[in-house]
A and B are shown apart, each in its own frame.
Chain A
Amino acid sequence: EAGVVQSPRYKIIEKKQPVAFWCNPISGHNTLYWYRQNLGQGPELLIRYENEEAVDDSQLPKDRFSAERLKGVDSTLKIQPAELGDSAVYLCASSLGIPVNYNEQFFGPGTRLTVL
Chain B
Amino acid sequence: SQQGEEDPQALSIQEGENATMNCSYKTSINNLQWYRQNSGRGLVHLILIRSNEREKHSGRLRVTLDTSKKSSSLLITASRAADTASYFCATDNKNTDKLIFGTGTRLQVFP
- Contact between A101 and B101, CB atoms less than 8 A apart: no
Cβ contacts under 8 Å, B92 to chain A: 101, 103
In the complex, which of the residues A42, A103, A108, A110 contacts B104, with contact meaning CB atoms closer than 8 Å? Answer: A42
Main secondary structure of the interface of B (DSSP, over half): strand
We find that the number of chain A residues with CB closer than 8 angstroms to chain B is 23
- Contact between B97 and A100, CB atoms less than 8 A apart: yes
- Contact between B30 and A109, CB atoms less than 8 A apart: no
CA distance A48 to B92 in the complex (A): 14
The interface size bin for chain B is 20 to 34
- Contact between A109 and B99, CB atoms less than 8 A apart: no
Q: A42-B88, A91-B42, A109-B42 are in contact. Are A104 and B33 (CB under 8 A)?
A: yes
- Contact between B88 and A108, CB atoms less than 8 A apart: no
Least Cβ distance of B29 to chain A in Å? 10
Main secondary structure of the interface of A (DSSP, over half): loop
- Contact between B99 and A42, CB atoms less than 8 A apart: no
Cβ contacts under 8 Å, A43 to chain B: 43, 88, 101
Q: Which of A62-116 contact B (CB under 8 A)?
A: 91, 93, 100-110
Among A42, A44, A91, A108, the most chain B Cβ lie within 10 Å of the Cβ of A42
CA distance A40 to B6 in the complex (A): 12
- Contact between B42 and A4, CB atoms less than 8 A apart: yes
Among A56, A103, A110, the most chain B Cβ lie within 10 Å of the Cβ of A103
CA distance A16 to B48 in the complex (A): 41
- Contact between A107 and B43, CB atoms less than 8 A apart: yes
Residues of B within 8 A of A (CB): 1-2, 30-31, 33, 35, 40-45, 48, 50, 88, 90, 92, 96-104
Residues of A within 8 A of B (CB): 4, 33, 40-45, 48, 56, 91, 93, 100-110
Supplied contacts A42-B102, A45-B100, 16 more A-B pairs, CB within 8 Å: A40-B104, A41-B104, A42-B2, A42-B88, A43-B88, A44-B2, A45-B98, A91-B43, A93-B43, A101-B50, A101-B92, A102-B31, A105-B45, A107-B42, A107-B44, A109-B41
Nearest 7 pairs between A and B by C-beta?
Answer: A42-B101, A107-B42, A101-B30, A107-B43, A109-B42, A103-B92, A42-B88
